[in-house]
Structure 1
Amino acid sequence: MSDPLRPRASLRTAVVWEVLRDALGRRVKAAGRDALDVLDTGGGSGKFAVPLARLGHRVTVVDPSPNALFALERRAAEAGVADRVRGLQGDADGLFDVAERGGYDLVLCHDVLEYVDEPADSVRNAAAALRPAGTLSLLAAGLGGAVLARALSGRFTEARQALTDPSGHWGPGDPVTRRFTAEQLSGLVTGAGLEVSAVHGVRVFADLVPGVLVDTEPGALDALLKLELSAAELPAFHSVATQLHVLAERD
Protein backbone atom coordinates (compact mmCIF):
# COMPACT_ATOMS: atom_id res chain seq x y z
CA MET A 1 0.00 0.00 0.00
CA SER A 2 1.31 3.45 -0.85
CA ASP A 3 1.85 5.92 1.96
CA PRO A 4 -1.23 8.17 2.09
CA LEU A 5 0.82 10.85 3.80
CA ARG A 6 3.03 11.34 0.73
CA PRO A 7 0.54 12.23 -1.99
CA ARG A 8 2.02 13.01 -5.38
CA ALA A 9 -1.06 14.42 -7.08
CA SER A 10 -2.44 16.84 -4.51
CA LEU A 11 -0.50 20.08 -4.37
CA ARG A 12 -3.22 21.55 -2.18
CA THR A 13 -2.42 19.31 0.78
CA ALA A 14 1.11 18.02 0.16
CA VAL A 15 2.86 20.41 2.57
CA VAL A 16 0.38 19.69 5.37
CA TRP A 17 0.75 15.93 4.93
CA GLU A 18 4.53 16.21 4.95
CA VAL A 19 4.42 18.10 8.26
CA LEU A 20 1.87 15.70 9.73
CA ARG A 21 3.91 12.68 8.72
CA ASP A 22 6.85 13.92 10.75
CA ALA A 23 4.65 14.98 13.67
CA LEU A 24 2.99 11.56 13.78
CA GLY A 25 6.36 9.86 13.89
CA ARG A 26 7.40 11.95 16.88
CA ARG A 27 4.10 11.42 18.69
CA VAL A 28 4.17 7.64 18.13
CA LYS A 29 7.70 7.49 19.54
CA ALA A 30 6.83 9.68 22.53
CA ALA A 31 3.62 7.80 23.32
CA GLY A 32 5.24 4.39 22.99
CA ARG A 33 2.36 3.00 20.94
CA ASP A 34 1.63 2.69 17.23
CA ALA A 35 -2.00 3.84 17.32
CA LEU A 36 -2.73 7.43 18.33
CA ASP A 37 -6.05 9.00 19.25
CA VAL A 38 -6.78 11.81 16.79
CA LEU A 39 -9.52 14.43 16.85
CA ASP A 40 -10.39 16.15 13.58
CA THR A 41 -12.62 19.11 14.38
CA GLY A 42 -14.46 20.31 11.29
CA GLY A 43 -13.13 17.24 9.51
CA GLY A 44 -16.03 16.97 7.07
CA SER A 45 -16.00 13.95 4.79
CA GLY A 46 -12.63 12.70 6.02
CA LYS A 47 -9.95 13.82 3.58
CA PHE A 48 -7.50 13.79 6.49
CA ALA A 49 -9.28 11.38 8.83
CA VAL A 50 -9.46 8.40 6.49
CA PRO A 51 -5.78 8.42 5.46
CA LEU A 52 -4.83 8.73 9.13
CA ALA A 53 -7.03 5.76 9.96
CA ARG A 54 -5.41 3.79 7.15
CA LEU A 55 -2.14 4.25 9.03
CA GLY A 56 -3.74 2.57 12.04
CA HIS A 57 -4.75 5.58 14.12
CA ARG A 58 -8.14 6.02 15.80
CA VAL A 59 -9.83 9.16 14.47
CA THR A 60 -12.84 11.05 15.81
CA VAL A 61 -14.34 13.58 13.40
CA VAL A 62 -16.55 16.37 14.75
CA ASP A 63 -18.49 18.27 12.09
CA PRO A 64 -21.80 20.17 12.09
CA SER A 65 -22.96 18.77 8.72
CA PRO A 66 -24.92 15.49 8.68
CA ASN A 67 -24.23 15.16 4.96
CA ALA A 68 -20.48 15.45 5.51
CA LEU A 69 -20.62 12.84 8.26
CA PHE A 70 -22.58 10.50 5.99
CA ALA A 71 -19.90 10.93 3.32
CA LEU A 72 -17.24 10.28 5.98
CA GLU A 73 -18.93 7.02 6.97
CA ARG A 74 -19.09 5.89 3.36
CA ARG A 75 -15.47 6.88 2.63
CA ALA A 76 -14.22 5.09 5.75
CA ALA A 77 -16.13 1.95 4.82
CA GLU A 78 -14.77 1.98 1.27
CA ALA A 79 -11.24 2.34 2.67
CA GLY A 80 -11.77 -0.54 5.09
CA VAL A 81 -11.24 1.59 8.21
CA ALA A 82 -14.81 2.02 9.49
CA ASP A 83 -13.75 0.52 12.82
CA ARG A 84 -11.17 3.27 13.32
CA VAL A 85 -13.21 6.31 12.29
CA ARG A 86 -16.02 7.80 14.36
CA GLY A 87 -18.15 10.74 13.20
CA LEU A 88 -19.93 13.01 15.68
CA GLN A 89 -22.20 15.94 14.89
CA GLY A 90 -21.02 19.12 16.60
CA ASP A 91 -18.92 22.22 16.13
CA ALA A 92 -15.81 23.90 17.47
CA ASP A 93 -17.72 26.14 19.87
CA GLY A 94 -19.45 23.23 21.59
CA LEU A 95 -16.66 20.74 21.05
CA PHE A 96 -16.90 19.12 24.48
CA ASP A 97 -20.59 18.45 24.12
CA VAL A 98 -19.52 15.49 21.99
CA ALA A 99 -15.73 15.07 22.32
CA GLU A 100 -13.50 14.22 25.25
CA ARG A 101 -11.53 16.95 26.98
CA GLY A 102 -7.84 16.07 27.23
CA GLY A 103 -8.30 12.81 25.36
CA TYR A 104 -6.30 13.12 22.13
CA ASP A 105 -2.68 12.86 21.04
CA LEU A 106 -3.26 14.94 17.90
CA VAL A 107 -5.97 17.50 17.16
CA LEU A 108 -6.60 18.81 13.65
CA CYS A 109 -8.31 22.17 13.27
CA HIS A 110 -8.29 22.65 9.50
CA ASP A 111 -10.42 25.17 7.57
CA VAL A 112 -12.41 26.03 10.69
CA LEU A 113 -11.22 29.39 12.00
CA GLU A 114 -12.25 31.16 8.81
CA TYR A 115 -15.93 30.60 9.63
CA VAL A 116 -16.41 30.50 13.42
CA ASP A 117 -17.63 33.50 15.40
CA GLU A 118 -14.75 33.43 17.89
CA PRO A 119 -11.50 31.92 16.52
CA ALA A 120 -9.74 32.30 19.89
CA ASP A 121 -12.39 30.18 21.61
CA SER A 122 -12.11 27.49 18.95
CA VAL A 123 -8.33 27.31 19.33
CA ARG A 124 -8.65 27.14 23.11
CA ASN A 125 -11.08 24.24 22.77
CA ALA A 126 -8.76 22.45 20.37
CA ALA A 127 -5.89 22.92 22.81
CA ALA A 128 -7.99 21.68 25.73
CA ALA A 129 -8.74 18.48 23.81
CA LEU A 130 -5.04 17.56 23.80
CA ARG A 131 -3.35 15.17 26.15
CA PRO A 132 -0.14 16.33 27.85
CA ALA A 133 2.57 16.66 25.18
CA GLY A 134 -0.12 16.49 22.48
CA THR A 135 0.12 18.20 19.08
CA LEU A 136 -2.21 20.68 17.40
CA SER A 137 -2.34 21.03 13.61
CA LEU A 138 -3.96 24.34 12.65
CA LEU A 139 -4.70 25.25 9.01
CA ALA A 140 -6.37 28.49 7.96
CA ALA A 141 -6.68 30.87 5.02
CA GLY A 142 -3.80 33.30 4.59
CA LEU A 143 -4.41 37.01 4.07
CA GLY A 144 -1.50 37.70 1.74
CA GLY A 145 -2.34 34.92 -0.69
CA ALA A 146 -5.85 36.26 -1.18
CA VAL A 147 -4.61 39.82 -1.77
CA LEU A 148 -2.05 38.61 -4.30
CA ALA A 149 -4.55 36.40 -6.13
CA ARG A 150 -7.11 39.22 -6.48
CA ALA A 151 -4.45 41.64 -7.70
CA LEU A 152 -3.03 39.23 -10.27
CA SER A 153 -6.51 38.64 -11.67
CA GLY A 154 -6.97 42.39 -12.16
CA ARG A 155 -9.38 42.84 -9.24
CA PHE A 156 -7.40 45.62 -7.60
CA THR A 157 -10.27 47.12 -5.59
CA GLU A 158 -11.04 43.73 -4.07
CA ALA A 159 -7.34 43.18 -3.35
CA ARG A 160 -7.17 46.48 -1.48
CA GLN A 161 -10.42 45.69 0.36
CA ALA A 162 -8.97 42.38 1.60
CA LEU A 163 -5.75 44.11 2.58
CA THR A 164 -7.48 46.80 4.65
CA ASP A 165 -10.44 44.85 6.05
CA PRO A 166 -9.84 43.63 9.64
CA SER A 167 -11.06 40.16 8.64
CA GLY A 168 -9.29 40.04 5.28
CA HIS A 169 -12.63 39.89 3.47
CA TRP A 170 -12.59 41.20 -0.12
CA GLY A 171 -16.31 41.79 -0.69
CA PRO A 172 -19.88 40.43 -0.78
CA GLY A 173 -18.94 37.58 -3.10
CA ASP A 174 -16.08 36.36 -0.91
CA PRO A 175 -16.85 32.82 0.34
CA VAL A 176 -14.27 33.09 3.12
CA THR A 177 -15.39 35.04 6.17
CA ARG A 178 -11.97 35.63 7.70
CA ARG A 179 -8.26 35.33 6.83
CA PHE A 180 -5.12 35.42 8.94
CA THR A 181 -1.47 36.33 8.98
CA ALA A 182 1.11 33.95 10.40
CA GLU A 183 1.51 36.28 13.39
CA GLN A 184 -2.22 36.23 14.11
CA LEU A 185 -2.43 32.44 14.02
CA SER A 186 0.66 32.07 16.19
CA GLY A 187 -0.87 34.53 18.66
CA LEU A 188 -4.06 32.47 18.88
CA VAL A 189 -2.01 29.34 19.55
CA THR A 190 0.18 30.86 22.27
CA GLY A 191 -2.90 32.48 23.78
CA ALA A 192 -4.36 28.99 24.17
CA GLY A 193 -1.31 27.90 26.17
CA LEU A 194 0.53 26.02 23.43
CA GLU A 195 4.01 26.47 22.04
CA VAL A 196 4.39 27.01 18.29
CA SER A 197 6.84 24.48 16.88
CA ALA A 198 6.55 25.30 13.16
CA VAL A 199 4.77 27.58 10.70
CA HIS A 200 4.45 26.65 7.02
CA GLY A 201 3.06 28.41 3.98
CA VAL A 202 0.69 26.20 1.99
CA ARG A 203 -0.02 26.66 -1.72
CA VAL A 204 2.52 29.42 -2.15
CA PHE A 205 2.81 28.82 -5.90
CA ALA A 206 0.24 26.14 -6.72
CA ASP A 207 -2.72 28.52 -6.99
CA LEU A 208 -0.81 30.95 -9.18
CA VAL A 209 0.64 28.55 -11.77
CA PRO A 210 -1.66 27.86 -14.76
CA GLY A 211 -3.02 24.34 -14.57
CA VAL A 212 -2.28 23.66 -18.22
CA LEU A 213 1.41 24.20 -17.54
CA VAL A 214 1.48 21.61 -14.78
CA ASP A 215 -0.62 19.14 -16.76
CA THR A 216 1.31 19.31 -20.04
CA GLU A 217 4.95 19.88 -19.11
CA PRO A 218 6.76 16.61 -18.30
CA GLY A 219 7.94 16.56 -14.70
CA ALA A 220 6.25 19.89 -13.91
CA LEU A 221 4.03 18.50 -11.16
CA ASP A 222 6.89 16.91 -9.25
CA ALA A 223 9.04 20.01 -9.69
CA LEU A 224 6.27 22.27 -8.42
CA LEU A 225 5.67 20.00 -5.44
CA LYS A 226 9.36 20.13 -4.53
CA LEU A 227 9.28 23.92 -4.86
CA GLU A 228 6.25 24.13 -2.56
CA LEU A 229 7.94 21.96 0.05
CA SER A 230 11.14 23.99 -0.14
CA ALA A 231 9.38 27.35 0.20
CA ALA A 232 6.90 26.27 2.88
CA GLU A 233 9.28 26.73 5.81
CA LEU A 234 10.69 30.09 4.71
CA PRO A 235 9.06 33.03 6.52
CA ALA A 236 9.53 35.22 3.43
CA PHE A 237 6.87 33.18 1.63
CA HIS A 238 4.35 32.97 4.47
CA SER A 239 2.97 36.38 3.54
CA VAL A 240 1.92 35.21 0.07
CA ALA A 241 0.64 31.71 0.87
CA THR A 242 -2.99 30.82 0.19
CA GLN A 243 -3.09 28.97 3.51
CA LEU A 244 -0.99 28.92 6.65
CA HIS A 245 -0.25 25.83 8.72
CA VAL A 246 0.79 26.08 12.35
CA LEU A 247 2.01 23.09 14.32
CA ALA A 248 1.95 23.52 18.08
CA GLU A 249 2.69 21.41 21.14
CA ARG A 250 1.35 21.20 24.65
CA ASP A 251 4.15 21.20 27.21
Structure 2
Amino acid sequence: MRSRAALRTAVVRDVLQDALERRVKTTGRQALDVLDTGGGSGNFAVPLARLGHRVTVVDPSPNALFALERRAAEAGVADRVQGVQGDAHGLFDVAERGGYDAVLCHGVLEYVDDPAEGVRNAVAALRPGGVLSVLAASLGGAVLARALAGHFTEAQQALDDPNGRWGTGDPMPRRFTADQLTALVEGAGLRVGAVHGVRVFADLVPGVLVDTEPGALDALLKLEAAAAELPAFHSVATQLHVLGETEGDSEA
Protein backbone atom coordinates (compact mmCIF):
# COMPACT_ATOMS: atom_id res chain seq x y z
CA MET A 1 0.00 0.00 0.00
CA ARG A 2 1.35 3.39 -0.95
CA SER A 3 1.60 6.14 1.65
CA ARG A 4 0.17 9.65 1.54
CA ALA A 5 3.72 10.92 1.08
CA ALA A 6 3.59 9.33 -2.37
CA LEU A 7 1.10 12.02 -3.42
CA ARG A 8 3.88 14.60 -3.26
CA THR A 9 6.43 12.68 -5.29
CA ALA A 10 4.72 9.98 -7.38
CA VAL A 11 4.37 11.95 -10.62
CA VAL A 12 7.95 13.24 -10.61
CA ARG A 13 9.40 9.87 -9.59
CA ASP A 14 7.58 8.08 -12.40
CA VAL A 15 8.64 10.63 -15.04
CA LEU A 16 12.23 10.59 -13.80
CA GLN A 17 12.39 6.80 -13.66
CA ASP A 18 11.16 6.56 -17.25
CA ALA A 19 13.78 9.12 -18.37
CA LEU A 20 16.55 7.21 -16.63
CA GLU A 21 15.40 3.92 -18.14
CA ARG A 22 15.68 5.51 -21.59
CA ARG A 23 19.14 6.75 -20.70
CA VAL A 24 20.17 3.25 -19.57
CA LYS A 25 19.05 1.80 -22.91
CA THR A 26 20.88 4.52 -24.84
CA THR A 27 24.17 4.24 -22.98
CA GLY A 28 24.15 0.54 -22.19
CA ARG A 29 25.15 1.38 -18.63
CA GLN A 30 22.90 -0.01 -15.88
CA ALA A 31 24.27 2.36 -13.23
CA LEU A 32 23.95 6.04 -14.09
CA ASP A 33 25.53 9.03 -12.37
CA VAL A 34 22.93 11.39 -10.92
CA LEU A 35 23.46 14.78 -9.31
CA ASP A 36 20.74 15.95 -6.91
CA THR A 37 21.16 19.65 -6.17
CA GLY A 38 19.38 20.70 -2.99
CA GLY A 39 18.57 17.04 -2.44
CA GLY A 40 18.28 17.38 1.33
CA SER A 41 17.64 14.15 3.21
CA GLY A 42 17.30 12.03 0.07
CA ASN A 43 13.62 11.90 -0.86
CA PHE A 44 14.67 11.27 -4.45
CA ALA A 45 18.29 10.23 -4.02
CA VAL A 46 17.65 7.11 -1.95
CA PRO A 47 14.95 5.66 -4.25
CA LEU A 48 17.20 6.30 -7.26
CA ALA A 49 20.08 4.56 -5.50
CA ARG A 50 17.77 1.60 -4.85
CA LEU A 51 17.40 1.35 -8.62
CA GLY A 52 21.17 0.91 -8.82
CA HIS A 53 22.26 4.43 -9.75
CA ARG A 54 25.06 6.44 -8.13
CA VAL A 55 23.72 9.66 -6.63
CA THR A 56 25.62 12.72 -5.44
CA VAL A 57 23.54 15.04 -3.26
CA VAL A 58 24.62 18.68 -2.93
CA ASP A 59 22.91 20.58 -0.13
CA PRO A 60 23.89 23.56 2.05
CA SER A 61 22.44 22.04 5.24
CA PRO A 62 24.70 19.80 7.37
CA ASN A 63 21.64 18.49 9.20
CA ALA A 64 20.00 17.45 5.95
CA LEU A 65 23.17 15.68 4.82
CA PHE A 66 23.39 13.85 8.15
CA ALA A 67 19.80 12.69 7.69
CA LEU A 68 20.67 11.63 4.13
CA GLU A 69 23.58 9.52 5.36
CA ARG A 70 21.40 7.80 7.93
CA ARG A 71 18.56 7.23 5.46
CA ALA A 72 20.88 5.78 2.84
CA ALA A 73 22.42 3.44 5.41
CA GLU A 74 19.01 2.25 6.56
CA ALA A 75 18.04 1.58 2.94
CA GLY A 76 21.26 -0.36 2.30
CA VAL A 77 22.50 2.01 -0.40
CA ALA A 78 25.17 3.97 1.48
CA ASP A 79 27.76 2.88 -1.09
CA ARG A 80 25.76 4.54 -3.89
CA VAL A 81 24.85 7.84 -2.19
CA GLN A 82 27.34 10.62 -1.51
CA GLY A 83 26.38 13.83 0.28
CA VAL A 84 28.46 17.00 -0.08
CA GLN A 85 27.85 20.44 1.38
CA GLY A 86 27.39 23.17 -1.22
CA ASP A 87 24.86 25.15 -3.24
CA ALA A 88 23.81 25.88 -6.82
CA HIS A 89 25.90 29.04 -7.06
CA GLY A 90 29.18 27.28 -6.28
CA LEU A 91 28.12 23.94 -7.72
CA PHE A 92 31.43 23.11 -9.39
CA ASP A 93 33.36 23.60 -6.19
CA VAL A 94 31.89 20.26 -5.11
CA ALA A 95 30.55 18.60 -8.29
CA GLU A 96 32.06 17.55 -11.60
CA ARG A 97 31.33 19.65 -14.67
CA GLY A 98 29.88 17.48 -17.44
CA GLY A 99 29.96 14.38 -15.27
CA TYR A 100 26.33 13.32 -14.82
CA ASP A 101 23.64 11.50 -16.78
CA ALA A 102 20.89 13.33 -14.92
CA VAL A 103 20.68 16.41 -12.72
CA LEU A 104 17.84 17.06 -10.31
CA CYS A 105 17.07 20.68 -9.51
CA HIS A 106 14.15 20.29 -7.11
CA GLY A 107 13.07 23.07 -4.79
CA VAL A 108 16.17 25.11 -5.65
CA LEU A 109 15.16 27.82 -8.10
CA GLU A 110 12.75 29.37 -5.59
CA TYR A 111 15.66 30.27 -3.32
CA VAL A 112 18.65 31.14 -5.50
CA ASP A 113 19.49 34.76 -6.32
CA ASP A 114 19.57 34.06 -10.06
CA PRO A 115 17.37 31.18 -11.29
CA ALA A 116 18.82 31.39 -14.79
CA GLU A 117 22.32 30.89 -13.41
CA GLY A 118 21.07 27.96 -11.34
CA VAL A 119 19.68 26.25 -14.43
CA ARG A 120 22.82 26.98 -16.47
CA ASN A 121 24.99 25.41 -13.78
CA ALA A 122 22.76 22.35 -13.65
CA VAL A 123 22.97 21.99 -17.43
CA ALA A 124 26.75 22.38 -17.37
CA ALA A 125 26.93 19.37 -15.06
CA LEU A 126 25.24 17.13 -17.65
CA ARG A 127 26.87 14.73 -20.05
CA PRO A 128 25.78 14.85 -23.71
CA GLY A 129 22.35 13.25 -23.94
CA GLY A 130 21.67 13.78 -20.23
CA VAL A 131 18.41 14.92 -18.66
CA LEU A 132 17.53 17.76 -16.30
CA SER A 133 14.64 17.48 -13.84
CA VAL A 134 13.35 20.84 -12.56
CA LEU A 135 10.70 21.01 -9.84
CA ALA A 136 9.54 24.37 -8.51
CA ALA A 137 6.65 26.07 -6.72
CA SER A 138 3.78 27.15 -8.93
CA LEU A 139 2.28 30.64 -8.90
CA GLY A 140 -1.20 29.48 -9.84
CA GLY A 141 -1.39 26.88 -7.09
CA ALA A 142 -0.45 29.46 -4.45
CA VAL A 143 -3.05 31.96 -5.69
CA LEU A 144 -5.72 29.27 -5.66
CA ALA A 145 -4.76 28.08 -2.17
CA ARG A 146 -4.90 31.58 -0.69
CA ALA A 147 -8.26 32.27 -2.33
CA LEU A 148 -9.80 29.00 -1.14
CA ALA A 149 -8.61 29.83 2.39
CA GLY A 150 -10.48 33.13 2.20
CA HIS A 151 -7.35 35.28 1.93
CA PHE A 152 -8.45 37.12 -1.19
CA THR A 153 -6.17 40.13 -0.79
CA GLU A 154 -3.15 37.86 -0.42
CA ALA A 155 -4.25 35.87 -3.47
CA GLN A 156 -4.40 39.08 -5.48
CA GLN A 157 -1.03 40.19 -4.17
CA ALA A 158 0.57 36.88 -5.20
CA LEU A 159 -1.00 37.23 -8.62
CA ASP A 160 0.40 40.74 -9.07
CA ASP A 161 3.80 40.26 -7.44
CA PRO A 162 6.75 39.64 -9.84
CA ASN A 163 7.94 36.79 -7.63
CA GLY A 164 4.50 35.41 -6.86
CA ARG A 165 4.65 36.20 -3.14
CA TRP A 166 1.45 36.87 -1.19
CA GLY A 167 3.04 39.10 1.48
CA THR A 168 5.94 39.66 3.84
CA GLY A 169 5.00 36.56 5.81
CA ASP A 170 5.21 34.33 2.75
CA PRO A 171 7.97 31.74 3.36
CA MET A 172 8.48 31.15 -0.36
CA PRO A 173 10.88 33.65 -1.99
CA ARG A 174 9.76 32.98 -5.56
CA ARG A 175 7.19 31.05 -7.60
CA PHE A 176 6.93 30.29 -11.30
CA THR A 177 4.51 29.76 -14.14
CA ALA A 178 4.97 26.89 -16.57
CA ASP A 179 6.02 29.37 -19.25
CA GLN A 180 8.69 30.86 -16.98
CA LEU A 181 10.17 27.48 -16.11
CA THR A 182 10.23 26.25 -19.68
CA ALA A 183 11.86 29.52 -20.76
CA LEU A 184 14.61 29.00 -18.17
CA VAL A 185 15.26 25.45 -19.37
CA GLU A 186 15.20 26.39 -23.06
CA GLY A 187 17.33 29.45 -22.36
CA ALA A 188 20.01 27.15 -20.99
CA GLY A 189 20.09 25.28 -24.29
CA LEU A 190 17.90 22.27 -23.51
CA ARG A 191 14.89 20.88 -25.29
CA VAL A 192 11.82 20.60 -23.06
CA GLY A 193 10.72 16.98 -23.12
CA ALA A 194 7.71 17.27 -20.80
CA VAL A 195 5.90 19.59 -18.42
CA HIS A 196 3.82 18.23 -15.55
CA GLY A 197 1.60 19.70 -12.87
CA VAL A 198 2.41 18.21 -9.46
CA ARG A 199 -0.04 18.01 -6.55
CA VAL A 200 -2.97 19.27 -8.60
CA PHE A 201 -5.53 17.86 -6.18
CA ALA A 202 -3.50 16.44 -3.31
CA ASP A 203 -3.24 19.70 -1.35
CA LEU A 204 -6.92 20.51 -1.82
CA VAL A 205 -8.49 17.18 -0.81
CA PRO A 206 -9.14 16.84 2.95
CA GLY A 207 -6.69 14.40 4.49
CA VAL A 208 -9.40 12.64 6.47
CA LEU A 209 -11.12 11.66 3.23
CA VAL A 210 -7.97 10.08 1.86
CA ASP A 211 -7.30 8.27 5.13
CA THR A 212 -10.78 6.88 5.73
CA GLU A 213 -12.34 6.20 2.32
CA PRO A 214 -11.40 2.73 1.01
CA GLY A 215 -9.32 2.99 -2.14
CA ALA A 216 -9.26 6.79 -2.01
CA LEU A 217 -5.47 7.09 -1.96
CA ASP A 218 -4.91 4.88 -4.98
CA ALA A 219 -7.72 6.62 -6.88
CA LEU A 220 -6.25 10.04 -6.06
CA LEU A 221 -2.79 8.92 -7.20
CA LYS A 222 -4.26 7.81 -10.53
CA LEU A 223 -6.12 11.10 -10.89
CA GLU A 224 -2.95 13.07 -10.13
CA ALA A 225 -1.04 11.12 -12.78
CA ALA A 226 -3.77 11.68 -15.39
CA ALA A 227 -4.11 15.42 -14.70
CA ALA A 228 -0.35 16.02 -14.50
CA GLU A 229 0.11 15.82 -18.26
CA LEU A 230 -2.80 18.10 -19.16
CA PRO A 231 -1.81 21.77 -19.67
CA ALA A 232 -5.23 22.88 -18.39
CA PHE A 233 -4.24 21.75 -14.89
CA HIS A 234 -0.71 23.18 -14.83
CA SER A 235 -1.97 26.57 -13.69
CA VAL A 236 -3.59 25.17 -10.52
CA ALA A 237 -0.89 22.70 -9.46
CA THR A 238 1.10 23.33 -6.28
CA GLN A 239 4.33 22.56 -8.12
CA LEU A 240 5.50 22.38 -11.71
CA HIS A 241 7.90 19.83 -13.15
CA VAL A 242 9.90 20.34 -16.35
CA LEU A 243 12.05 17.65 -17.92
CA GLY A 244 14.82 19.03 -20.12
CA GLU A 245 16.98 17.02 -22.49
CA THR A 246 20.39 17.91 -23.86
CA GLU A 247 21.28 17.78 -27.51
CA GLY A 248 24.14 15.71 -28.82
CA ASP A 249 25.12 12.09 -28.80
CA SER A 250 25.04 10.07 -25.60
CA GLU A 251 28.15 8.41 -24.30
CA ALA A 252 28.35 4.69 -24.79
Whether TM exceeds 0.5 here: the answer is yes
Q: Distance in 1 between matches of 2:49 and 2:138?
A: 28
Alignment of 1:224-243 (within 5 A): 224-243=220-239
Q: Distance in 1 between matches of 2:152 and 2:143?
A: 9
Q: Distance in 2 between matches of 1:92 and 1:147?
A: 28
In the other structure, the counterpart of 1:147 is 143
Alignment of 1:40-189 (within 5 A): 40-189=36-185
> Which blocks of at least 5 consecutive residues in structure 1 are unaligned?
none
Structure 1 residue 30 and structure 2 residue 26: aligned? Answer: yes
Q: Distance in 2 between matches of 1:133 and 1:99?
A: 18
Choose from 208, 213, 216 the match for 1:212. 208
Contact kept in structure 2, 1:109 and 1:139, CA below 8 Å = yes
Q: Distance in 1 between matches of 2:220 and 2:68?
A: 30
Report deviation, 1:8. Answer: 5.3
Give secondary structure in 2 for the equivalent of 1:13: helix
In the other structure, the counterpart of 2:17 is 21
Q: Distance in 1 between matches of 2:245 and 2:34?
A: 14
- Residue 133 of structure 2 aligns to which amino acid in structure 1? S
Report deviation, 1:173. Answer: 1.5
Q: Distance in 2 between matches of 1:193 and 1:245?
A: 17
RMSD: 1.0
Report deviation, 1:136. Answer: 0.3
Choose from 175, 199, 202 the match for 2:195. 199
Contact kept in structure 2, 1:8 and 1:222, CA below 8 Å = no
Aligned residues: 246
Deviations 1:175-225 (CA, angstroms, capped at 9, x unpaired)? 110000000000000110101000000000110011111111111111111
> Which blocks of at least 5 consecutive residues in structure 2 are unaligned?
248-252
Percent identity for Structure 1 against Structure 2:
81
- Residue 49 of structure 1 aligns to which amino acid in structure 2? A
Q: Distance in 1 between matches of 2:214 and 2:61?
A: 40
Contact kept in structure 2, 1:194 and 1:250, CA below 8 Å = yes
Report deviation, 1:50. Answer: 0.7
Report deviation, 1:73. Answer: 0.7
Report deviation, 1:20. Answer: 1.0
After the TM superposition, which parts of structure 1 deviate over 3 Å for at least 4 consecutive aligned residues? none
- Residue 114 of structure 1 aligns to which amino acid in structure 2? E
Q: Distance in 1 between matches of 2:209 and 2:169?
A: 28
